Every structure is written in structure tokens, then in C-alpha cells.
Amino acid sequence: MIRLAIISLVIAAVLAVLGFGGAAGTFVGIAKILFFIALAIFALFLVMGLLAGKGIKNAID
């Protein structure tokens, strides 16, 4: 997901250099959305991992 966000930013930079401002802005918006989705998924997996670790610890003890 982060890879797609970085690719979108690179495409946006190339388009901006070539003078396609509207398309570059669209790709920047896409990159922002992908970044925040990746951040939310990371936070969700972090919480799930912490909870799973506590569950396994309690099951072993």
C-alpha cells in the first residue's frame, strides 16, 4: 500500500514537471488516500497483534 502511494507521488512529480497540473493534483490526492489507508491498517494490525500476544500469554500461564 505504501509502495502504491510512493509510485503515485512519483507519477505526480513527473506530471507536474511536464506541466499537467490537474493530473498531478489527482495523483497527489490518490497518494494521500493510500497513505492514510495504509496507516489505518497498520494501526489495526498493531492493536490486533498486541491483543493476540496477551491472549497467548494468558493461555500459556
Per-residue pLDDT of the chain (61 residues; tens, 9 = 90+): 889 999 999 999 999 999 999 999 999 999 999 999 999 999 999 999 888 877 666 666 5
pLDDT of residue 42: 96
What is the C-alpha separation between 33 and 28, in angstroms, rounded? Answer: 9
DSSP annotation of 61 reads: -
Q: Give the global pTM.
A: 0.76
Domain boundaries, the chain: 2-60
CA 1 – CA 3 distance, rounded (Å) = 5
pLDDT, position 41: 97
pLDDT of residue 52: 85
